[in-house]
Amino acid sequence: MSEQNTSMAKSSASAQPLVPIKSALPWLAAIAFLLFLPVVFPSGAALTIMNQMAMTIIFALAYNMLLGQAGMLSFGHAVYMGLGGFFCMHLLNQVEYNELYLPLPLLPVFGGLFGLFFAFLIGSFSTRRAGTVFAMISLGVGELIAACSIIIVVFFGGEEGVSGDRTMGPEVFGFDFASQQEVYYLTAIWLILAALGMYLFSRTPIGRIANAVRDNEERAEFLGYSQRNVRWISFCASGFFCGIAGALFAINFEILTEENLNLATSGSILLITFLGGVGFFIGPVIGAVVFTLLQTVLSLYTEIWQLYLGILFVLTVMFFPAGLTGLLAMHLRPWKLGKIGLLANPYAKMLAPALVLVGSGVALMEILFHARHASLGEEEMNLFGITFNSQDWLPTIVVVAIGAGAFYLVRLLAPQVKEAWDMANHAEGQ
């Protein structure tokens, strides 16, 4: 019988290609998408946003290697991206002034190694314990390094930071990386490499055992694994990919400052990862895309974009702890049951009142903000194409009335959505 088994295994093995088409497809699609993106959005501003997105995606994916895969909550992860970036900035300066031979596309490798080195060093004591102890140490180390960046001016450049020039290195295939377009492709290639690396890491023995330690560290210990070493290795791997993101930051912006190391940056990567969903590999990607869009596009239209971001974050944590990806994944079951169509009608009905509700909430906050913070004598404000006096009570009253009406409609329609949801999730014969 065992002979039969092995022969079966062999025949199925020979039929199996090196990389199954099904698992390669999303990656090929991602590569094609990244290649064509600059064709659709060729402007310099768009390229900058896309580059920033790519870096944030790598950083968030690396952060989720800890938070999602290994169950470690770090409050100071900007340190590894930031230090990787600072060292790369100094390397670029070595290239410029001391004729160090280093082709720019290889810089992220060094960024990764610097990130890895510091993760190894700091992880040696911070990963001894999980949970609150780890979180507190990460917070302390984060503050420490951020404070150092102000004090050690020689290395961190004080408040001005460290700047450099990416174009001074040797040309690679005729590219000197002076144009945004070239930097975009460099960043995109590294995005694919890093994301693929992190994806594959999650499927190695250590990646799987990191999940095991996250879920039940005691059991893992009794299976031969030191929980501390598993956390340490996960931490080092995360630091490596953070360093790659840091190097890309150095290449893109040609300057690093204290902001790259501080708690605000550490906090926003936690926010991004959680917003996207820690339970899914793709989660941080979605979080990073949404966050970068809000940060760059929304900030063009309103000064209080951070307030909206904060509200979005709080609502996500409260109502969709699995993140935006979790919200999408919820619809997989109705989809598989072939009942996703049942949701179309109630969703469509809900759309208008929900948008009006959000819109009136936004309007209310904008009016309040304008009334309180606009410079003296500037009482006219423009919102959704309507110009009015923000000091007047009337616009506020109108907005509140519209909002209340929309809220009433949302409440009225909610049971229909819920009913449709239950129907769509109900499998026959259950």
Which 227-256 positions form the footprint of other proteins (CB under 8 A)? 227, 229-230, 233, 237
Q: Residue from 24, 45, 106, 208 that binds other proteins (CB under 8 A)?
A: 208
Task: Tell me: does residue 326 bind other proteins (CB under 8 A).
Answer: no
Q: Is 216 in the site for other proteins (CB under 8 A)?
A: yes
Contact region for other proteins (CB under 8 A) — 142-150, 223-231, 260-268, 398-406? 223-231
Mark the segment that binds other proteins (CB under 8 A) among 197-205, 245-253, 289-297, 371-379.
197-205
> Mask of contacts with other proteins, 1-30, x by CB under 8 A?
----x---x---x-----------------
Nearer to other proteins, 204 or 416 (CB): 204
Closest to other proteins by CB, 174 or 224? 224
Shortest Å distance, C-beta 230 to other proteins: 7
State the Cα–Cα distance between residues 127 and 143, nearest whole angstrom. 17
Q: How many residues bind other proteins (CB under 8 A)?
A: 30
User: Of 135, 144, 1, 141, nearest to 72 (Cα)?
Assistant: 135
Pick between residue 212 and residue 255 the one whose CB is nearest to other proteins.
212
**CA 108 – CA 166 distance, rounded (Å):** 12
Cα 45 to its chain centre, rounded Å, is 20
| Residue with Cβ nearer other proteins (2 or 375) | 2
Choosing from 30, 102, 206, 417, the residue that interacts with other proteins (CB under 8 A) is 206
| Stretch in the footprint of other proteins (CB under 8 A) among 127-135, 226-234, 291-299, 359-367 | 226-234
Neighbours of 19 (CB within 10 A): 9
Torsion angles phi and psi, residue 287, rounded to 5: -60, -45
Q: Which stretch binds other proteins (CB under 8 A): 225-233, 262-270, 327-335, 401-409?
A: 225-233
**Structure token pair of residue 418:** 């819920």
Cβ proximity to other proteins: between 42 and 321 the closer is 321
Q: Which is nearer to other proteins, 49 or 73 (CB)?
A: 73
56 or 234, CB closer to other proteins? 234
Which of these, 268, 309, 279, 233, lies nearest to 82 by C-alpha position? 268
Q: How far is the CB of 336 from other proteins (least distance, A)?
A: 15
**Shorter beta-carbon distance to other proteins: residue 203 or 411:** 203
| C-alpha–C-alpha distance, residues 225 and 47, integer Å | 45
Contacts of 176-183 spanning 24+ positions with Cβ under 8 A: 177/104, 177/251, 180/44, 180/47, 180/48, 180/51, 181/38, 181/42, 181/47, 183/47, 183/51, 183/251, 183/252
Tell me the chain's radius of gyration from C-alpha atoms.
25
Taking the complex as a whole, how short is the minimal distance between the CB of residue 220 and other proteins, in angstroms?
Answer: 7
The answer to whether 215 contacts other proteins (rule: CB under 8 A) is yes
Do residues 383 and 363 make contact, with C-beta atoms less than 8 angstroms apart?
Answer: yes
User: Judged by CB under 8 A, does residue 70 bind other proteins?
Assistant: no
Closest to other proteins by CB, 163 vs 211, is 211
Q: Minimum distance between the CB of residue 135 and other proteins, rounded to whole angstroms? A: 21
> Which residues of this chain interact with other proteins, rule CB under 8 A?
5, 9, 13, 200-201, 203-209, 211-212, 215-216, 218-227, 229-230, 233, 237
